């Protein structure tokens, strides 16, 4: 197994876990687990986390989208 295969498997694993948690919390049968919308509302109440998310999206775009646009 190469390094790229290992990283791809890791990303797929976390994607699968994320979808499993999303499906498990959609119907609110688990009162101790917040749904995705409730979690997002809780995160967005704090100004620092909103600023952190904006900076993260900027960083992501700068490192992955800008190089694609400059190659044309």
Query: pLDDT of the chain along its 72 residues, tens only?
Result: 777 788 788 889 989 998 888 887 777 777 777 777 888 888 899 999 999 989 998 888 887 777 777 775
State how far the Cα of 7 lies from the Cα of 11, in Å rounded to an integer: 6
pLDDT, position 4? 75
State how far the Cα of 13 lies from the Cα of 4, in Å rounded to an integer: 14
Cα distances (Å, whole numbers) of residue 7 to 2, 21, 29, 59: 9, 21, 33, 21
pLDDT, position 6? 82
Residue with token string 């999206």: 57
Strands (E), the chain: none
């Amino acid at each position: 197994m190469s390094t790229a295969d290992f990283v791809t498997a890791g990303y797929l694993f976390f994607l699968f876990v994320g979808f499993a948690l999303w499906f498990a919390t959609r119907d609110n049968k688990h009162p101790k687990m917040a749904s995705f919308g409730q979690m997002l509302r809780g995160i967005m109440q704090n100004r620092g986390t909103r600023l952190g998310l904006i900076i993260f999206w900027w960083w992501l775009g700068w490192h992955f989208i800008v190089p694609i646009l400059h190659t044309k």
